[in-house]
Amino acid sequence: MKDLPLSKVYQLLEPGPVVLLTTAQKGRANVMAMSWHMMVEFEPPLVACVVSNADYSFAALRATKECVIAIPALKLARKVVEVGNCSGRNVAKFEAFGLTPVPAERVSPPLVAECFANLECRVADTRLVNRYNLFVLEVLKAWSDPTQKNPKTIHHHGHGRFAVDGEMIRPRSRMP
Amino acid sequence: MKDLPLSKVYQLLEPGPVVLLTTAQKGRANVMAMSWHMMVEFEPPLVACVVSNADYSFAALRATKECVIAIPALKLARKVVEVGNCSGRNVAKFEAFGLTPVPAERVSPPLVAECFANLECRVADTRLVNRYNLFVLEVLKAWSDPTQKNPKTIHHHGHGRFAVDGEMIRPRSRMP
pLDDT in tens, chain B (176 residues): 999 999 999 999 999 999 999 999 999 999 999 999 999 999 999 999 999 999 999 999 999 999 999 999 999 999 999 999 999 999 999 999 999 999 999 999 999 999 999 999 999 999 999 999 999 999 999 999 999 999 999 999 999 999 999 999 999 876 65
Separation in Å, CA B146 to CA A163, B44, B98: 20, 23, 21
pLDDT digits (tens, 9 = 90+) for A101-150: 999 999 999 999 999 999 999 999 999 999 999 999 999 999 999 999 99
Pairing assessment for the beta strands B66-71 and B19-25 based on DSSP bridges: antiparallel
CA B129 → CA A88, A113, B88, B125, distances in Å? 34, 36, 21, 8
d(CA A70, CA B102): 41
Partner-chain residue, chosen from B17, B41, B170, that has the shortest CB–CB distance to A161? B170
The nearest alpha carbon in chain B to A126 belongs to B128
**Quick one: which of B102, B55, B97 has its CA closest to B76?**
B97
Chain B neighbors of A157, CB-CB under 8 A: 11, 14-15, 168
> Residue A40: its chain B contacts at CB < 8 A?
36, 50, 132, 134
| Confidence bin at A173 (pLDDT 50/70/90) | confident
Q: What is the phi/psi pair of residue A58, to 5°?
A: -55, -50
ipTM above 0.90, yes or no: yes
Q: B61-81, pLDDT tens digit by residue? A: 999 999 999 999 999 999 999
Interchain CB distance below 8 Å, A11 and B158:
yes
